[in-house]
Amino acid sequence: METRTTSIPGVVLVRPRRFEDERGAFCETYREDVWSAAGVAARFVQDNTAWSLRAGTVRGLHFQVPPHAQAKLVRVVRGRIFDVVVDLREDSPTFRRWESFELDAASRWQLFVPKGLAHGYMTMEDDTEVAYKVDAYYAPNAEAGIRWDDPDLAIPWPSFAPIVSQKDRMLPLLVERELWWDTEVWEG
């Protein structure tokens, strides 16, 4: 397995080994002991899949607030995405900073997103499928997010015409979210 560190503490890129022969290929996409050794300390309880019909589809920037905060392990099953994380942990040296990654099915890179970060992506190909594991169940009352096109973040999204859900278009800017933000929301 190959790992890469990122500029945001706790965010890890991991590429599992792939075994090929004349029949095709095999890959262990997740194995707890190996991933734990790579710095991914989470016990996953739910798997999710998102399929997007068109390139330019935006999903995010989403998170759940404690006590239902989620860590995620994200991989692309088919297609390619521009993936973004935003550090919302006030005690982090990278608070309010974002980092982007290009993930695709061919390269097999997976992204671990720890609790306390907003996560989102834009599809860069039609017919893209993204699978992710989470370490806490979906809790509608804890669902939150910030706008994907927040001018204070100034994320340079790919130049596709964005396809954004009504729900995601109505998410607040980070500065608006911080007006009600509990300073201890990510503690514990």
Catalytically annotated residue among 62, 119, 137, 138:
62
Q: Specify whether 68 is catalytic.
A: no
Rounded-to-integer distance, Cα 98 and Cα 60, Å:
13
Catalytically annotated residue among 30, 68, 121, 132:
132
Q: Specify whether 62 is catalytic.
A: yes
Q: Hey, which residues are catalytic here?
A: 62, 132
